[in-house]
Amino acid sequence: MKEQLERIRVSALEALAQAKESADLESLRIKILGKKGELTAVLKTMGKLSAEERPVMGQLANSVRAGIEEALEQRKKELAAAALEARLEAEAVDVTVPGTAPTLGHRHPMNIALDEVKEAAIGMGFRILEGPEVELAEYNFTKLNTEEGHPARDWSDTFYLKEDSSVLLRTQTSPMQIRAMEAIGKPPIRILAPGRVFRKDEVDATHSPMFHQIEGLVIDKGITMADLKGTLEAFVKSLYGEDCVVRFRPHHFPFTEPSCELDVQCFKCHGAGCPTCKGEGWIELLGAGMVHPKVLEGCGIDPDVYSGFAFGIGLERMAMRRFQISDLRLIFENDVRFLEQF
């Protein structure tokens, strides 16, 4: 029996040392120490031993069992450590491998141009406002002194959203003049309102059914045409540089009186006339004027006490000039080959 026990010990320790996985250990344990295991089978024959032999063999059997159990535990730990090691190795991140740089987007040229205008206006004390693109005809036209029957209200020019022509896609940002006056109430008012506007125009190099305007409004006591001219000239110079030349031309808008347009001298030919300015020497930049007394009155502002001026800038035109873009369509087509240039 002694040899039997020794053989079990030796072969068990050998098998354990070779076990590669914890599942192997478990089946070894069952094979040796389990109810039907090798060691158990030997122990069952103990009864046949003599009274002197029994305790000696019992002791030996116990030490064999303890030895195997200890080796089993030991091997279990080794395998667990090895498994952990292997996992760490497999999941290791090599921080020294060069990364793939993500391709970063950037601002659209229209946003760059808009931010420059906002920046200049904020520096002059204007507040930025935004308002609805779906607008009431009341605000887009009537309150801007553009009565029913005015050609600007024609169905062929305006996207109406209701049969009765009461709701539309705003054709200009000027309704923001009314909304600002109604919301702020008592002057002084100094706001800038950029946004999308819509007109029934066919797409070509200079037209689009959707484009952007930036509305400006200043109302206070004693505001005159001199303030309009001084403010707009300073504004344009802060955008285009001190040496740019501007001129004011008389014009007509229903909601301003008097009205004007501001042109900048062509930055390419300096007034001589070239393809960029279509031979004019000047490029039209914005419409402006002194707010019509009727408009002030309609917003509850007394035209005998207060006066003011308004202006509307075409943002696409400004961006095209700023970045020397020759075709309006490029701005809306979102071709990355174009956009990447800014």
| Binding-site ranges for ligand PHE (CB under 6 A) | 172, 174, 253, 256, 287-289, 310-312
Beta carbon of residue 259, minimum distance to ligand PHE (angstroms, whole number): 6
The least distance separating ligand PHE from the CB of residue 231, rounded to whole angstroms, comes to 13
- For ligand PHE, the closer of residues 73 and 157 by Cβ is 157
Instruction: Output the smallest distance, CB 197 to ligand PHE, in A.
Output: 7
Min CB(101)–ligand PHE separation in Å: 44
Q: Give the integer Cα–Cα distance in Å for 39 and 42.
A: 5
Q: How far is the CB of 215 from ligand PHE (least distance, A)?
A: 6
Q: Which is nearer to ligand PHE, 195 or 289 (CB)?
A: 289
Least Å distance, CB 120 to ligand PHE, is: 17
Closer residue to ligand PHE in complex, CB, 37/187: 187
For 9, other C-beta atoms within 10 Å of its C-beta total 20
Q: Which is nearer to ligand PHE, 72 or 191 (CB)?
A: 191
Shortest CB 240 distance to ligand PHE, Å: 20
Closer CB to ligand PHE, residue 71 or residue 310? 310
* Position 75, amino acid: R
Q: Give the separation between CA 341 and CA 254, rounded to whole angstroms.
A: 40
Q: Which is nearer to ligand PHE, 5 or 145 (CB)?
A: 145
Smallest Cα–Cα separation from 339: which of 208, 324, 330?
A: 330
- C-beta closer to ligand PHE: residue 5 or 228: 228
Query: Shortest Cβ distance from residue 167 to ligand PHE (Å)?
Result: 19
Tell me how many degrees the CA angle 259-264-268 measures, rounded to the nearest 5.
155
Nearer to ligand PHE, 306 or 311 (CB): 311
Residue nearest to ligand PHE (CB): 312
Provide CB contacts within 8 A for 156, sequence distance 6+.
200
Rounded Cα distance between 235 and 287, Å, is 14
Residue 195: CB minimum distance to ligand PHE, A: 12
Which residues make Cβ contacts (< 8 Å) with residue 309, sequence separation at least 6? 217, 218, 223, 225, 227, 228, 231, 256, 288, 289, 290, 291
Nearer to ligand PHE, 43 or 228 (CB): 228
